[in-house]
Chains A and B, each alone.
Chain A
Amino acid sequence: MDSSSNKVPVTILTGFLGSGKTTLLNRILSEQHGKRIAVIENEFGEVGIDQALVINAEEEIFEMANGCICCTVRGDLIRVLGNLMKRRDKFDYVVVETTGLADPGPVAQTFFMDDEISSEFSLDGIITLVDTFHINQQLGRSNESTEQIAFADVIVLNKTDLVKDSELDNLEARLREMNKMAKFIRSEMANVPINSVLDKSAFNLDQALIRRPTFLEPEYPFEWTGIYSTKPGKYKIIMSEGPDPSMSLVIELDQNTDDVSLRNGAEHCVRLYAEDAEIIKPSEIIPKGKHVNLNLESLGQKEFYVEIEKDTKIGLFAQHTAEEFNMKLIEVNNNDEVPVEVERTWVAQHEHDDEVGSFSIEKDGDLDEQKLQAWISKLLREKGVDIFRMKGFLSIAGESNRFVFQGVHMIFSGKPDRPWGSLPRRNQLVFIGRNLDEKEMRKGFEDCLV
């Protein structure tokens, strides 16, 4: 009997003690999502939802005699899930809440290395909660917190009310350098939308690629966003002299200030920035929802106009920070400055001193299958211990279908995906690991190109 089509999805919730895992779990359980969720907890939390099936199990890490780290599995999960799957009627989703000190590797590997588990359950994603107030100390001190960041598909920056916005921007930039695959969400009391943490299909690559055509979070072409409340009327953006003779800008209408809206707006603007910019001279009106390039060549203060038709919030997604040009938004009829309600710096300054990092390789062209196989098997044999996660899609010479793959340490799984059709044939690989030699890996990959 083939049950592959109805495997039960499993979400892993990691994060240090006090990061808000239990709060998020309670939020997931109390939401009206129509799912019957079973919870496996490794530490006594305060899950207080009656209708959920909550099982407490002590973490049991089973290493194998062969010493291979990718064979290390979590015995407690095999046991509990093995019993749970005998009663499929009781639940249709599983959330595993690990201890703060858990190594996410064996947890993830359990879903690939144990045949009975992998035939009944599919790993949906790894969610890591970060206590933004304490994480900087933790990252220096423990491998576990670093690995929880490195393995994550979604990183929730929690307790943002305790940390200054500029510090959050710096923290996010630091963590993004460690894990370029993860989606970031900010929250105060783990109040994140449920659909941002469940049903992610993060290990089911063809599904993930249908939703978004890339495994990478965008590199933002703008440094700064400011959100302002506006009324119908005429506004002007005033700018002093700054470091550049021009600045790119997109004005988004109806831009809400919450984190999810801000990120959605940013993603939309990444696409707009890819289009050619319209050059706007001082005193001209800036069109909204379009990529423009403000001409700043003339000396002294410059003004640009914006016409607003309704009560709304507007987001200025600017190539440079407001500070660099002393940029201000002024209401024309009363000459009042409109205060910035929320601002976000996307490309923050930070030091690259973490051992754990991530990088991507993006290349057009076809790959020689034999060379590729030889390269990957050598890479995994020699560096598998240091590679935490990898994902990618490949264009293999002579194959009409795209090839997708993902891996955890030495566990590599790949399969042909949909046909390339008229799409340009290209390759994208993302690696997250410890002390990875990016230059050597890039060269190794490029040597596989036809």
Chain B
Amino acid sequence: MSIMETQPQKILRSGWNTYVNDYAISGGWNYNGEALIICDAAGGIYVFDGKSGEVIWTQRQVHEDGILSAAIHPLTNRFATGGQDGKIIIWNTHQKNKEKVIDLGGGWIENLSWSQDGEMLAISCSKTVYVYTKEGDEIWQSNNHNSTVSNLGWSINKELATTCYGRVCFFDGMSGKVKQKLEWKGSLVSMVLSPNSDIVVCGSQDNTIHFWRRSTEQDSMMSGYPLKPSALSFDETGSYLATGGSEEVTVWSFKGNGPEGTSPLSLKLHKKPITTLAFAHRGMNLASGSRDGAVVLWDLKSENEESGLSETSVSDSVSKLYWRPDDKALAGLDRQGGVTVWHV
């Protein structure tokens, strides 16, 4: 694999890289950044030492027919995986053994999400969502949504947000009571909540972005994207929203009265459509990946189009980018099973 550094600052310095057995679809850093957990589409789990890239443990085919989703616990050494076998497994980062297996009896487990306090795990399977304790005991399950649930997320107030065709729904995380429904006739393919959880943004199948301010239920739409905006990321302050949906990274400013009536910033370095976006946990660094395997690190402090800091690439379409909790390293996953870690 070739790592090329186009910028003299060398902001992204090569750390380590390796390959897993199939398309690297999901994973993340454990809460303290010591381990990087990667799941491949064939159902393999790989836990790497974050510094050296050495394999701590690995296990193949943990889900029959493959893994679809994974979620890393925010505060402890736990993570969860979901598969095409209708099962969710809760693992310990340090050990190979399963802590808990939840069997929903069939259906694809397409989304998993830990609440921000780490007390609850939300699961989506077909049109239903389930909320479990961190130990793996069921708390509640929802009625059927309009269609298969497409995204899950948690607010800072322990509310579970779900999307499906035509709707964003907020549930009380503890009771499962519906607290808010936001409707829009469209297939919502992506979702992100602002850090204060007041704004919920969705990318839609019709190549638009739709967002609501929850406090007023006022909604707005941003159109003009040539493709589905499936990659979305807010910065830590909620001032900037980075969106994909083309070969450019489009950044909307929510400062003042924006983004309504404002023009977004267009970041142009990628040659193929954006597949994933990740703001750093702190500060204005934004990482973007595209279908051709290019990875770009941007610094948005300057608020101009010349903010590309560093450009590098992986072997194929970038599936995910994960910042280490201390933001000093970035992990990139790709379609060929490549796992690359850069120091920042």
Contacts and interface: CB of A to CB of B under 8 A. Distances in A.
A59 to B, nearest CB: 10
A390 interface: no
A83 B187 contact: no
B66 A87 contact: yes
Interface in A46-74: 53, 58, 60, 62-66, 71, 73
B185 A87 contact: no
12 contacts: A1-B293, A1-B316, A60-B165, A62-B165, A62-B187, A79-B148, A86-B23, A86-B25, A87-B22, A87-B23, A87-B41, A114-B228
Interface residues of A, number: 22
A60 to B, nearest CB: 5
Contacts of B122: none
Interface string B252-290: 000000000000000000000100000000000000000
Contact of A114 (B84, B186, B205): B205
A268 to B, nearest CB: 48
A83 B273 CA distance: 19
Interface of A: 1, 53, 58, 60, 62-66, 71, 73, 75-76, 78-79, 83, 86-87, 89, 114-116
Given A1-B291, A64-B186, A87-B42, A73 B23 contact: no
A76 B205 CA distance: 13
Interface residues of B, number: 32
B108 interface: yes
Nearest to B293: A1
B22 A62 contact: no
A62 B66 contact: no
Nearest to B21: A89
Contacts of B187: 62, 64, 73, 75
B147 interface: yes
B210 to A, nearest CB: 9
Contacts of B316: 1
B45 to A, nearest CB: 16
Nearest to B165: A62
Contact of A71 (B42, B84, B184, B206): B206
A105 to B, nearest CB: 16
A222 B66 CA distance: 57
B341 to A, nearest CB: 22
A60 B188 CA distance: 13
Contacts of B41: 86-87
B198 interface: no
B206 A64 contact: yes
A257 B165 CA distance: 52
B317 to A, nearest CB: 7
Nearest to B187: A62
Interface in B207-235: 227-228, 230
B68 interface: yes
A73 B148 contact: no
B327 interface: no
A66 B221 CA distance: 13
Given A58-B148, A64-B185, 19 more contacts: A1-B292, A1-B293, A1-B317, A60-B147, A62-B147, A62-B186, A62-B205, A65-B185, A65-B186, A66-B206, A71-B206, A76-B148, A79-B110, A83-B110, A86-B23, A86-B66, A87-B41, A87-B66, A116-B230
